[in-house]
Amino acid sequence: MPLTKDEIKLVDKMLKGDRVALGRLMTLAESRHRSLPGILERINSSAYDSYVIGITGPPGAGKSTITDKLITQYRTQGKRVGVIAVDPSSPFSGGSILGDRVRMHEHAMDDGVFIRSSSSRGLSGGLARSVSEMIKLYGAFAMDYVIVETVGVGQTELQIMDIADTVVVVLVPEAGDAVQTMKAGLMEIADVFVVNKADRDGAKVLASEIKSIISIKSYKDLWEPPVLLTSAHVNEGIDDLKNQVEAHKDYLHSTERFKEIRDKRKVEEFSSIIKENIDRELSKKLESEEVKKIYELVRSAEIDPYEGARRVIQKIM
């Protein structure tokens, strides 16, 4: 559906650096507004190639503090940073529970930083489709880096690897099952490991355990994830973290990996667009009176669900 004049004006304002327009477009992306395909089409040729950093790990690991300190590191270098904080969803309203600027309030007034929360909408991987589209909007807003901080739900949080160029997995000493969690999935996605709250007992032991696992694991490429100790609340180790993220970025650009990652992302985006459009059209057809009659036949047990499904497919295909 073509964009209205007001929608075109809104996109053009955002492309010229209007932060209010960016916020409104983020809202349209998250609400799956009917104008979204047209908006993304309009910004596609203007999208800047933002580098995406994913910050993930169990609850209470200090991901928000690390994100906050990383923003400071990049702003010191004059880099523009967009943040997407994926918050837990209310199972009833679908809305996010945490505010988007509460945890990183020091940067809220910085024109070179834009922080937005996004509801996970109950997805097991913690990421909604809108996150990828928000990253595109940040790209069109000329952000150098986009940091995606995900809700900590352990091993199910593997979707971050589909949208991030560098994945940072944050753990803490008191996470007793952290190593088991890594074996179950997080180990496979980390480009950088961070043991945060390094001043606590067990931090060095946990770091050694992670290094031991890394040493016996075979990696398909030449990058071996470093294991860092940080105390983010006092800003210790954050410069090392930023340097390792940059080292991984340089590694990706020096090989075919970066192109492979971006090419794969384009194909996945293309597939998602097709599936979403098919789902939308199918939903419309499933609301027809003919299909509703078949639902009634199944509900009243006049036909079994398998026969009902066959009839519906014949009607809509």
**pLDDT tens-place string over residues 9-45:** 999 999 999 999 999 999 999 888 889 999 999 998 8
Place of tokens 């940080």: 230
Residues 58 and 178 sit within 8 Å (Cβ to Cβ) = yes
What is the model's pLDDT at position 124?
44
Mean pLDDT of 40-54: 90
Choices 2.40.40.20, 3.40.50.12160, 2.30.30.100, 3.40.50.300: CATH for 47-254? 3.40.50.300
> Helices 5-15 and 129-140: crossing angle, nearest 10°?
60
Q: Where are the domains of the chain?
A: 1-45, 47-254, 266-316
pLDDT tens-place string over residues 142-188? 999 999 998 655 444 567 888 899 999 998 887 655 555 555 566 77
Pairing of strands 227-229, 81-87: unpaired
Place of tokens 């071996």: 224
Share the mean pLDDT of the chain.
Answer: 85
pLDDT tens-place string over residues 91-107? 333 444 444 445 566 78
Question: What is the number of alpha carbons within 13 Å of residue 313 lying toward its C-beta?
Answer: 6
CB atoms within 10 A of CB 317: 7
